[in-house]
Chains A and B, each alone.
Chain A
Amino acid sequence: MAAKKYVCKVCGYTHEGNSAPDACPLCKAGSDQFDVVAEAGAEQEEKPKKKGINTNSDFYAIIYAAIVVVIVAILLAGVSSALKPMQDENIRLDKMKQILASLHIADVKDAKAEFEQVVKKDAVIDSNGNEKMATGGFDVANDAITPDNLPIYVCEVDGEEKYVIPMTGQGLWGAIWGYMAVNSDGNSIYGVYFSHASETPGLGAEIAGSKFTSLFDGKNIMDGGEIALQAVKGRLSNEATQVNAISGATITCNGVNAMLKKCLGNYKAFLAAKQQPVTNVETTPCCASDSICSDAGTKSTEE
């Protein structure tokens, strides 16, 4: 920091150092021709004073803030709208991957092709189990799922029909969600996928791990017509419908249980109908739902 600046009076050459050079390298003038200008470190403190505008006035501060905000807003809006199509595509691909993961199809290179091959139908049903739309279930956002607007994915894995049910709930810190793949008997579980926004790593976040999700394979969703599937602490009182909860993640597991009860509950009629296909015939809305579904089908193809 002790460096000083010496300027040659003859040619203007600037030398930095503790003393003037013996001779100027440009014009060969002697050391007596050098002037001490300032310490190099002092240079920065001088700069603000050179500005003609008073940067401390209220008016300047307000105008400055306004300009900065406008520039930042334009930048962000530009970046956001330029990247939006790519982000949406990524989100769609990720949703496909999650649905495939519930069907034990992981690490696929082309998720889109695999999804189109496996998922035969993405229908929308209501809580009575009636089909409202034959397609378009995939476009129902997770927060748009209501008892009257339930997406269901009819998939085919190894020649067998599976139903994938989306689920959303609340964990300890934020949202949790998942997909439940049910066998064609409408009760036993083929596979499940859980994910979370911000659960504690190593504890609540373990619900997304295969150690936890694999516990669900082969369990039953319903027992005696009610949703009985649960993650419980300690000894399991009913092996068929219960899995071991994660220790240290009580609130997250309670959230999982609440999610299972609420989301699978919406599909109770649908699942019950799959369990006893015969009883479904006697219910009258069958034909009505057929006509609705064909209407909706043509509509969506027009789009």
Chain B
Amino acid sequence: MAELFSKKNKEALTTPLLKNNPVTLQVLGICSALAVTSKLAPAVVMGLSVTIIVAMANVVISLIRNTIPNRIRIIIQLVVVAALVTMVSEVLKAFAYDVSVQLSVYIGLIITNCILMGRLEAFAMQNGPWASFLDGIGNGVGYALILVIVAFFRELFGSGTLFDIQVIPQALYDAGYINNGLMLMAPMAFFLIAGIIWVQRAKDKSLQED
């Protein structure tokens, strides 16, 4: 822990982006990846919120990791996460009301996001605060990345818009093009995530399982 960016810390930050992505390889946080990805804007804000909260929760748990009684560690982790999420939600309501209205239930959903519990249990319980912070940022960004990719395709083909701005020209609609309603349904997120997993594993043979 002598250097801030030792090899190990760098790995904690960068591997979750692709090699050990929380969504496509750890297969965590799928539930929220379905819920918030029909439009880009909520996907981006959700990605940001999760990044901040995973990083903060990782730091807190890492700081108290040696004092946590082993048998109630999950409960303690849950309490910390729930408290953080509630605080972020309150702060948003006070300072960025429009954003909090837009996110409505999704902020609360962060508590149930398995990425949080997964990272707390797998990383923060064994590592120092700084490494845990980087791990949280890495996993949050990795999660946000997949969300944005999925939301991009779902919004583009489902609504013909990106960030609520019309991108598919009217001429195409006049020629008979119709928005794909299936894109807006939750199952389509499954198909897209499966597609991403397929592409990723086809490109990187080391990720393939026997």
Query: Which residues of A are at the interface with B, using a C-beta cutoff of 8 A?
Result: 1, 16, 44, 47-48, 51, 55-57, 60-61, 64-65, 68-69, 72, 75-76, 79-80, 83, 86-87, 90-91, 93-94, 174, 197-198, 200-203, 248
Contact = CB atoms under 8 A, between A and B. Distances in A.
A7 to B, nearest CB: 14
A61 B76 CA distance: 10
B195 interface: no
Contacts, number: 84
B97 interface: yes
Which 8 residue pairs spanning A and B have beta carbons closest together?
A202-B184, A90-B97, A61-B69, A83-B94, A86-B94, A201-B38, A72-B83, A87-B93
A55 B104 contact: no
B101 interface: yes
B30 interface: no
Given A61-B71, A64-B67, A201-B38, A16 B2 contact: yes
B191 to A, nearest CB: 16
B208 interface: no
B93 A90 contact: yes
B90 A87 contact: yes
A198 B106 CA distance: 9
B144 to A, nearest CB: 18
Contact of A202 (B79, B93, B126, B159): B159
B69 A201 contact: no
Contact of B67 (A55, A56, A72, A197): A55
Contacts of B172: none
A201 B39 CA distance: 7
Contacts of B94: 83, 86-87, 90
B69 A68 contact: no
Given A61-B72, A68-B79, A72-B80, 6 more contacts: A51-B66, A57-B69, A64-B76, A87-B97, A90-B97, A201-B42
24 contacts: A44-B126, A44-B127, A44-B128, A48-B66, A55-B69, A56-B70, A61-B72, A64-B67, A64-B72, A75-B83, A76-B87, A79-B91, A80-B90, A83-B93, A86-B94, A87-B90, A90-B94, A93-B97, A197-B104, A198-B104, A201-B38, A202-B184, A203-B184, A248-B181
Contact of B97 (A55, A94, A197): A94
B151 to A, nearest CB: 10
Contacts of B95: 86
B39 A202 contact: yes
A29 B146 CA distance: 54
A94 B79 CA distance: 31
Contacts of A64: 67-69, 72, 76
B75 interface: yes
A47 B72 CA distance: 19
Nearest to A41: B8
B104 to A, nearest CB: 6
A231 B86 CA distance: 38
Contact of B66 (A47, A68, A87, A174): A47
Contact of A197 (B38, B66, B91, B105): B105
B72 A202 contact: no
A195 to B, nearest CB: 8
B39 A55 contact: no
Nearest to B161: A202
